[in-house]
Amino acid sequence: MTADLFARLTERQSSQEVMAEGAVLLRGFVGKAEAELIAALRDIVGAAPFRHMVTPGGHQMSVAMTNCGNAGWVTDRTGYRYHAVDPESGKPWPTMPLLLRDLAERAAGRAGFGGFAPDVCLINRYLPGAKMSLHQDKDELDFAAPIVSVSLGLPAIFLFGGLKRSDKPRRFRLEHGDIAVWGGPSRLFFHGVAPLADGEHPIMGSQRLNLTFRKIR
């Protein structure tokens, strides 16, 4: 490998972009964990398959979801909440693999949030056209801990606004292997994902997966 190529790879691996105060985009941070991460996801999805949940307003979400960890985020006609068992199977959610927890902890640390100990990982699957409307992550009890968000597969436009729903969101392109972290002053910022553009990712195919690590208690 030439010195020049090595320099560029290192640069890509460590490139960081500040999205707001307390919010950082770590480009390519997944790095060498990629293959093991994808294998671990396959096991989780085998035990707790993706499903389209229904919002309290009665709309079926375009994003399909599952979880791993001590609890999982669920929504149905009665509201949003964290639940210790998968309502589809009646069994506990799959355990959060150490590899995932470690990746999230390292990313949080890099973003300035040392000692992050997530207890839940919500896994979202976007097929082309799927989107996530602007919302705040506020079903957790502990807002001192950040949200750590890992992107795999097709690129997406992440919308990152402010504390008010009406704050105009900035747009960030999230690619395979990127990790976004938001906490501190931006922990409750409104965010969402624009409709996923069609495409084919060489490893993940025609989809985007997103993992958000949270500390809920």
124 contacts ligand SIN (rule: CB under 6 A): yes
Q: How many Å apart are CA 10 and CA 108, to the nearest integer? A: 19
27 contacts ligand SIN (rule: CB under 6 A): no
Q: Give me the least distance between CB of 3 and Fe ion, in Å please.
A: 41
Q: Give me the least distance between CB of 74 and ligand SIN, in Å please.
A: 13
Q: Give me the least distance between CB of 132 and ligand SIN, in Å please.
A: 5
Give me the count of residues in the chain.
217
How many residues at the interface with Fe ion, by CB under 5 A?
1
| Residue 193 partner contact from ligand SIN, Fe ion, none using kind-dependent CB cut-offs of 5 to 8 Å | ligand SIN
Q: Which amino acid is at 25?
A: L
Q: Which of 108, 178, 212, 213 contacts ligand SIN by CB under 6 A?
A: 212
Return the exposure string of 149-162: e unless at least 16 CB atoms fall within 10 Å of the residue's CB, then b: bbbbbbbbbbbbbb
191 contacts ligand SIN (rule: CB under 6 A): yes
Q: Binding string to Fe ion for residues 115 to 154, with x set by CB under 5 A, is what?
A: ----------------------x-----------------
Q: Give me the least distance between CB of 78 and ligand SIN, in Å please.
A: 20
Most distant pair of Cα atoms in the chain: their distance = 58
| Residue 149 partner contact from ligand SIN, Fe ion, none using kind-dependent CB cut-offs of 5 to 8 Å | ligand SIN
Considering beta carbons, is residue 40 or 154 the nearer one to ligand SIN? 154
Q: Give me the least distance between CB of 122 and ligand SIN, in Å please.
A: 6
Q: Footprint of Fe ion on this chain (CB under 5 A)?
A: 137
